[in-house]
Amino acid sequence: MTFSSAHHGSYIAAASWLISPEALPLAGGAILVRNGRIAAVGTLGELRRKHAAPVIDHPGCAILPGFVNAHTHLELTHFPSWRLRKHVEYHPRRFVDWIIQLIKVKRGLTPDDIRASVREGIRMCLESGTTAVGEIVTATTLTDLYQSSLLSGRLFFELVGHDQTRFRSALKEAVDAVQALAAGTFAMGLSPHATYTIGEENFPLIREVAVSADLALAIHCSESLEETEFIFETSGELAEKFYPFVGWERYLTPPRRCSSTELLDRAGLLTATTLAIHCVQITRADAEILKKRGVSVALCPRSNERLDVGRAPVALLRKMGIPLALGTDSLASNDSLSIWDELRFTLKTFAEELSPADLFHMVTNGGAAALGIDKSHGSLEAGKRADFQIVGHFGDGARDLLERVMLRGSVEDVYVSGSRYGEEQGAA
């Protein structure tokens, strides 16, 4: 798909409604787009009086910000077809079995396989109204795909391993890539994968680099009971099956008698620029640490359900005032990369804890804030990138408007940095 190049200068996008977080829905709302940015917001009448620009009208629709998917692994978009290609035809419901299957399926893939998978993931995001992602990247050689794409957001370079020499080398490669890409459309960060895949002696190295280079962190945290058991007691399936499978038996440690959250906090890896992913198995004490350190949490409810690891304690996270975002994770543990699908599942799953307005915030300003990109993304405000989606098929009238849009709306068009994405539309 390609950009439509019809409107590279100024134009007014108008619809029956303009819906932006932290603002009341605006009937007859419109935005003035100039050189890829939002230059003004108001009713169509107001903008027409003040600005001479062509109007693109979308009657019966609403203009919403492009959604922010706070946690993705787009490299795994082709995982379902890879799994079939390798004749792996079962869906593990046990967390460690799934990790081992993931590693088996990825073995033998070529760089071209991975690049094609990333491209497809980017397309799926954009077609479903997602314009920014918090993406985990495992190879620095893939960064050109993101930088030349229409997506933006933050790239987190993944770090795993115990051997300190190899880890230092991987860390240096990631930091070099970050510095080389500093001027691109993506912000940068690091993703120490999880407490069970990184040697504890490597934590200070990560902390030192994160502070000196001012890098955000994204860390999978307390995703499963197996992780909890492994960190607390060095026992369970991660110790008995996963570590032997990857040849890490010699790195097993004495029981730590703490949680993943406590372990990360001791290492100084939990700060206001840390995104903790999943947080399914956290305790109240863990939540208090996250709150104290200013950590944001990316929930991935469909992935958690698929892997049968439990449900995040959303009521606790909300009560503690911990900032929340929403992510799809990958197609290795989910059915789609659509944030629309994710928010609808989440609304159903956490009907008592989260309202449509809560979810709308999580996939717009909340997601942008969690990734540290909220100055340019997440809402329809003057000065921000003109990333927005045209949503229709939600019915008429103002009554329960946001709820109707969240539950029934479908994506009609997507605009990225002011330009219309493609000629075919992806449904929400």
Domains of the chain: residue spans and CATH: 10-66+379-420 (2.30.40.10), 68-370 (3.20.20.140)
pLDDT at 420 over 60: yes
pLDDT tens, position by position, 325-360: 999 999 999 999 999 999 999 999 999 999 999 999
CB-CB contact of 379 with 364 (8 Å): yes
pLDDT of residue 424: 39
Instruction: Give the mean model confidence (pLDDT) for residues 201-214.
Output: 96
pLDDT tens, position by position, 33-61: 999 999 999 999 999 999 999 999 999 99
The residue written with tokens 């007691």 in the block is 233
- Which of 92, 139, 106 is closest to 241 using CA atoms? 92
Instruction: Give the mean model confidence (pLDDT) for residues 71-89.
Output: 89
Residue 26: strand pairing partners: 18
- Which of 354, 353, 359, 291 is closest to 323 using CA atoms? 291
DSSP-derived secondary structure letter, 174 = H
* Rounded Cα distance, 198 and 297, in Å: 20
pLDDT of residue 95: 95
- Residue 22, judged by CB atoms within 10 A of its CB (0-12, 13-18, 19+), counts as exposed
Instruction: Give the mean model confidence (pLDDT) for residues 260-283.
Output: 98
Instruction: Give the mean model confidence (pLDDT) for residues 312-325.
Output: 98
Encoded amino acid at 128, one letter:
S
pLDDT of residue 210: 95
User: Percent of the chain beyond pLDDT 70?
Assistant: 96
pLDDT tens, position by position, 360-389: 999 999 999 999 999 999 999 999 999 999
pLDDT of residue 427: 39
pLDDT of residue 40: 98
pLDDT at 7 over 60: no
pLDDT of residue 8: 56
Cα angle for residues 220, 370, 197 (degrees, 5° grid): 15
Classified as helix, coil or strand, 89 is: coil
Q: Work out the pLDDT band at 179, boundaries 50, 70, 90.
A: confident
pLDDT at 237 over 80: yes
Indicate whether this model's pTM tops 0.85: yes
CB-CB contact of 172 with 135 (8 Å): no
pLDDT of residue 90: 64
Phi (first) and psi of residue 144, to 5 degrees: -65, -30
pLDDT tens, position by position, 283-299: 999 999 999 999 999 99
